[in-house]
Amino acid sequence: MSYTINLRKYQKLLKEVGYLRSELEYQEEVLRTAHHDFESFYREWCANNDIDLASLNKKHSKRVDKLIPDNPVHSSFDDKDNLIPVDKIDIKRKANKFSKIYKKLARELHPDKEEGNAKKFAKISEAYNEGKWSVLLEAAADLDILPDNFKEIFPLMREEIDSLKKQISTNETTYSWKLFECEDNKDCMENIVKQFLKHLFKLEL
């Protein structure tokens, strides 16, 4: 495959992963308040409809602990775990494929240099150590630095794309996100709470 085709492919993948990361950041920003909004609406609705949450939690304590060990608003419709484990050994192995481009960036951005940038240097260092390859590659693109091993990094870029899609999809299954999508439609919001009660307590309403 020609260099030009590989370059176009690289630019396409970089644009896609950038879009997905932006979408995930948007979701996470929304969910920071949506979790609280769900909790408030859920408790208020139950109180107004004579649903004794304390008794239900006590009666179904084992099921509740199994389904939502941390916080009910993080629970999803399909009981999937939201957490994606970080394999530090795997990251270190993959980082070798980005070492050249990281070193080039470090030379440009190191705070000891006259035109260095401590904030950007910290950002690329974090990206390199945590396996956020697209952040590293976007920083390189800003400085017109291109990788010389397209074929080696293409699979890792696709892997990051798949990971971001999975996280976005998982967020979309949470009750907090579903309530947010109701956009203050009361019937929709009540339906989400009823689904949550059925999911958590097997309560039919």
Tell me, letter by letter, the H, E, C secondary structure of the chain: CCHHHHHHHHHHHHHHHHHHHHHHHHHHHHHHHHHHHHHHHHHHHHHHCCCCHHHHHHHCHHHHHHHCCCCHHHCECCCCCCCCCCCHHHHHHHHHHHHHHHHHHHHHHCCCCCCCCHHHHHHHHHHHHHCCHHHHHHHHHHCCCCCCCHHHHHHHHHHHHHHHHHHHHHHHCEHHHHHHHCCCCHHHHHHHHHHHHHHHHCCCC
Predicted local confidence at residue 65, as pLDDT: 83
Full residue range of the structural domain in which residue 140 is found: 3-201
Whole-prediction pTM: 0.82
Predicted local confidence at residue 114, as pLDDT: 85
pLDDT < 70 regions, the chain: 69-86
129-150: pLDDT as tens digits: 999 999 999 999 999 999 999 9
Predicted local confidence at residue 75, as pLDDT: 53
Predicted local confidence at residue 179, as pLDDT: 96
94-107: pLDDT as tens digits: 999 999 999 999 99
Number of domains in the chain: 1
